[in-house]
Structure 1
Amino acid sequence: MAKVALVLTDDFADWEYAMIGGIGGSFYGLEVAYFSPTPGQLSSMGGMTVVVSNGLEELALWQPDVVAVIGGTVWDSEAAPDISDLLVTQYENGVPVGGICGGTLALARSGLLNAEPHTSNEGDFLIKNAVGYDGVSNYVQSKTAVSSDRVVTAPGTAPVSFAAAIFEVAGVPQETVSQFKDMITAEHN
């Protein structure tokens, strides 16, 4: 069973983790755990209150198979935590890392987007909010998640394709990932 670490911050985006946490664990057998740079009581953008007791030190000790940084309003503010060392270390240890919406800023700041195809809310979003980001030539304007060499990125409007890409790098069989996409998008067909 693959272990997926979801990194949440205060004011995290409710819709960006829900399918990974809910469907990934209960339907696909992933072991999903939540971590925060500031453990304790967090509030989501939708007003839900959660307690995340695991800090980033526990994340490294847990030895996840995938790390996904969930977006939220903190990432494009001066209060954004610097998790670059954690992300680079995980990536260098062979662990796929992902970011959605504001979470892509954490990956950009760490340098992980400088040499890989990636996406985000918009290219200017990364340029404006990620000091040290030098990957503009690899930016892909996409409505869906982009995966490249263990790096998964997505705009905040793409939680379904982000979840599917995280499932893929976690080792969920491709047939199951395809069924997930069909199930979640059925109402639009």
Structure 2
Amino acid sequence: MKKVAIILTQGFADWEYGLIAGAGGPFYGLNIRFFAPAAGEVRSMGGLSAIVAHGVEAVPEWAPGVIVVVGGTIWETEDAPVLDDLLLAHHSKGGIVAGICGGTLALARAGLLDDVRHTSNDADYLHRHAPGYTGSALFRPEPVAVTDNRVITAPGTAPVGFAAAIFESAGLDHDAAEAFRRMLAAEHAGADGK
């Protein structure tokens, strides 16, 4: 199983990393570590205060197989961290990069979505917030995670599928990843009252 680096920023989305960290380590044996643009305190959209011990400059030395960029409010602002070099270097060495919701903007800004099938909150969202993005022909308006050439993307409404795609890319057996996805989708199977 590969190591998974999760990057949190100020205003990170509480629901987008929880399943990866909460199930990935304890239930599936992933080695998960959190990073931030700078080590120290980050506060989530919901007000959770977290102390992140490692800045993103420490990611290459830890050598994860997967780098996950969690979405949040900062990605649509001028204060968004620039992760281009980190993400491009990781991907060029055969690593997997993943972004959900606003985290897809970091991938788009790095040029990682220009040549792969991908998704996000919507196509216009990428154009508005990622100058230079040229991958619109490969955009898929999917409500689930999309994986192509070691790049995983998802809209903010798909944390379950995003987590499952990360688990599988990190080495979890396909059937186990599908079982995880089905288990968490079970409550919706009876949503019509039957």
Aligned ranges for residues 1-189 of structure 1 at < 5 Å?
A: 1-189=1-189
Indicate the SS of the match to 1:26: coil
Q: Distance in 2 between the 1:158 and 1:38 partners? A: 27
Q: Distance in 1 between the 2:126 and 2:73 partners? A: 14
Indicate the SS of the match to 1:81: coil
Q: Distance in 2 between the 1:84 and 1:57 partners? A: 12
Identity between Structure 1 and Structure 2 (%): 51
User: Per-residue deviation at 1:175?
Assistant: 1.2
Q: Distance in 2 between the 1:182 and 1:139 partners? A: 25
User: Per-residue deviation at 1:64?
Assistant: 0.1
Q: Which is further off, 32-41 or 83-92?
A: 32-41
Instruction: Give the RMSD, CA atoms, in angstroms.
Output: 0.7
| Structure 1 portions without partners, runs of 5+ | none
Q: Which residue of 1 aligns with 2:192?
A: none
1:89-131 C-alpha deviation (Å, 9 max, x unpaired): 0000101100000000000000000000000001000000001
Indicate the SS of the match to 1:152: strand
Q: Distance in 1 between the 2:14 and 2:70 partners? A: 9
Q: Which amino acid aligns with 2:186?
A: A
1:28-77 C-alpha deviation (Å, 9 max, x unpaired): 00001000112210100011000001011111100001011000000010
Indicate the SS of the match to 2:25: helix
Q: Distance in 1 between the 2:9 and 2:123 partners? A: 23
Q: Which amino acid aligns with 1:52?
A: V
Q: Which is further off, 146-155 or 31-40?
A: 31-40
Q: Distance in 1 between the 2:78 and 2:33 partners? A: 27
User: Per-residue deviation at 1:171?
Assistant: 0.8
| Structure 2 portions without partners, runs of 5+ | 190-194
Q: Distance in 2 between the 1:127 and 1:79 partners? A: 18
User: Per-residue deviation at 1:132?
Assistant: 1.5
Q: Which amino acid aligns with 1:156?
A: G
Q: Distance in 2 between the 1:80 and 1:29 partners? A: 31
Q: Distance in 2 between the 1:175 and 1:154 partners? A: 21
The two structures have a TM-score, normalised by structure 2, of 0.96
Q: Distance in 1 between the 2:48 and 2:62 partners? A: 26
